[in-house]
């Protein structure tokens, strides 16, 4: 019969940085939170993530008796600044579609359990961070993230992976508390540009830039475009300002070679003009939350970023992209971006767009011209 020690040793041998054990009791506090914030999480249910079912490990694995939580660090290497400015670090480190080294290590760990007579499941909809805290592996931040007790210098650059098993183990002592220092005056909440952090450990995912950049269904509301700043895909702002992450951010890390090779393909101009073939070959293998049906959102995100960079060098690309796009959400965002850049060339382009524009695009062109004229 496999012991806790043997399982922990195997987890480290598979490359995980920490491991803990907890019971398979339902996550009742999470269920209550989901009930209370039903409206805020309705989109996840609509997207097929049954978060309610995930609060009960028995729905994942009938006969579940324990959860083994593995800690996988990311951001162990430095990313090129041109990528860090626009893309969340966890996505830059995600190799699930190219090699999937993490998936293979999880598989090897589960094969070890299976050979020891233990059945396991790794559900995507179980509250992994809560499981990690219940297994004593770290504490919460007020920004809703999980902070490791010993990985990433105590920072939040970790992914907890909950493995539900049909064998009981002595659980570790839970650490289900917020571990923020008293002297931090809620820097994460103050820094969140879109007001998604409504209070300690209360995020409205619908206002979070990460959600908006890859799940936002409609034209981004005008009031959020400037606050969303330079983020094309994901956002790390509430982690970057956090003093609990300062020790890791201060480290001199080696360069991430995979990310260094992505720089050219992920240049903003290329993203703005990409077609489905380019997206499928160069982008999707790294960032796959959006399909090729969502190119409009990629391009609207990039146009918004170009507008927020306020660099008139982007005007020719935005004009060309306006002509290439047949999606009014992209066209409208391009018009907004030109208005934000506000140079004479941007104004001339908006004037040229006006006669052929209708609906929301026309509204944005008119609003952008008004903004430019008021400058």
- Contact call for residue 203 and ligand SF4 (CB under 6 A): yes
Of the residues 153, 187, 230, 249, which one makes contact with ligand SF4 according to CB under 6 A: 187
All residues at 6 or more sequence positions from 39 whose CB lies less than 8 Å from its CB, including other chains? none
First-to-last CA distance in the chain?
74
Q: Which residues contact 133 (CB under 8 A, 6 or more apart)?
A: 139, 140, 146, 174, 175, 176, 177
Residue 146 burial (CB count, 10 A): 21
Residue ranges in 250-294 assigned as alpha helix (H):
257-262, 268-273, 276-278
Interface with ligand SF4 includes 186 (CB under 6 A)?
A: yes
- How many of the chain's residues bind ligand SF4 (CB under 6 A)? 24
141 touches ligand SF4 by CB under 6 A: yes
Q: Does 196 bind ligand SF4 (CB under 6 A)?
A: yes
Nearer to ligand SF4, 121 or 202 (CB): 202
Residue selected from 63, 99, 199, 243 as contacting ligand SF4 according to rule CB under 6 A? 243
Distance CA 337, CA 272 (A): 13
Nearest distance from C-beta of residue 40 to ligand SF4, angstroms: 12
The least distance separating ligand SF4 from the CB of residue 242, rounded to whole angstroms, comes to 3
Q: Strands 66-73 and 18-23, how do they pair?
A: antiparallel
Contact between 188 and ligand SF4 by CB under 6 A: the answer reads yes
Q: What's the angle, vertex CA 293, arms to CA 290 and CA 297, rounded to 5?
A: 60
Q: Rounded to the nearest whole angstrom, what is the least distance from the CB of residue 60 to ligand SF4 in the complex?
A: 27
Please, what sign has the CA dihedral across residues 289, 92, 228, 208?
A: positive
Binding-site string for ligand SF4 from residue 99 to residue 138, where x marks contact by CB under 6 A and - marks none: ----------------------------------------
Among 51, 78, 184, 354, binds ligand SF4 (CB under 6 A): 184
208 binding ligand SF4? (CB under 6 A): yes
325 binds ligand SF4 (CB under 6 A): no
| Distance from chain centroid for Cα 27 | 23
Q: Cα(68)–Cα(352) distance, rounded to whole angstroms? A: 61
**Binding test (CB under 6 A) with ligand SF4, winner from 86, 244, 297, 329:** 244
- 85 makes contact with ligand SF4 (CB under 6 A): no
Cα–Cα dist 305/303, whole Å: 5
Q: Looking only at residues 214 through 233 of this chain, which bind ligand SF4 when binding is defined by CB under 6 A? A: none
Q: Nearer Cβ to ligand SF4, position 221 or 323? A: 221
Contact 106, 95 (CB under 8 A): no
Stretch binding ligand SF4 (CB under 6 A), from 23-31, 187-195, 315-323, 347-355: 187-195
């Amino acid at each position: 019969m496999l012991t806790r020690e043997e399982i922990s040793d195997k987890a480290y041998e598979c490359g995980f940085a920490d491991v803990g054990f907890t019971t398979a009791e339902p996550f009742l506090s999470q269920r209550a939170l989901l009930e209370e914030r039903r409206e805020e999480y309705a989109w996840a249910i609509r997207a097929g993530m049954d978060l309610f079912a995930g609060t009960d490990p028995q729905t994942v694995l009938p006969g579940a008796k324990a959860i083994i939580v593995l800690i996988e660090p990311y951001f162990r290497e430095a990313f090129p600044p041109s990528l860090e400015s626009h893309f969340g670090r966890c996505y830059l480190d995600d190799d699930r579609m190219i090699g999937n080294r993490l998936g293979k290590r999880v598989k090897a760990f589960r094969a070890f359990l299976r050979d020891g007579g233990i059945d396991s499941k790794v559900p995507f909809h179980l509250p992994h961070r809560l499981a990690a805290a219940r297994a004593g592996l770290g504490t919460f931040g007020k920004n809703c993230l999980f902070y490791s007790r010993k990985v990433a210098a105590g920072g939040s650059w970790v992914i907890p992976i909950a493995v539900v098993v049909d064998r009981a183990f002595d659980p570790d002592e839970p650490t289900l508390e917020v571990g923020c220092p008293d002297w931090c005056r809620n820097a994460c909440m103050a820094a969140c540009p879109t007001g998604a952090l409504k209070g300690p450990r209360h995020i409205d995912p619908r206002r979070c830039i990460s959600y908006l950049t890859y799940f936002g269904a409609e034209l981004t509301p005008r009031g959020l475009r400037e606050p969303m700043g330079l983020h094309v895909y994901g956002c790390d702002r509430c982690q970057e300002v956090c003093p609990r992450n300062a020790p890791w951010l201060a480290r001199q890390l080696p360069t991430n070679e995979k990310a260094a090779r992505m720089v050219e393909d992920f240049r903003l101009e290329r993203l703005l003009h990409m077609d489905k073939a380019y997206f499928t070959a160069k982008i999707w293998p790294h960032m796959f939350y959006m399909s090729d049906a969502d190119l409009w959102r990629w391009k609207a995100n990039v146009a918004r970023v170009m507008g927020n960079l306020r660099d008139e060098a982007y005007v020719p690309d935005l004009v060309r992209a306006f002509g290439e796009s047949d999606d009014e959400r992209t066209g409208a965002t391009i018009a907004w971006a030109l208005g934000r850049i506000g140079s004479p060339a941007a104004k001339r382009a908006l004037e040229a767009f006006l006669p052929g524009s209708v609906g929301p695009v026309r509204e944005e062109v008119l609003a952008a011209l008004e903004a430019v004229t008021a400058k």
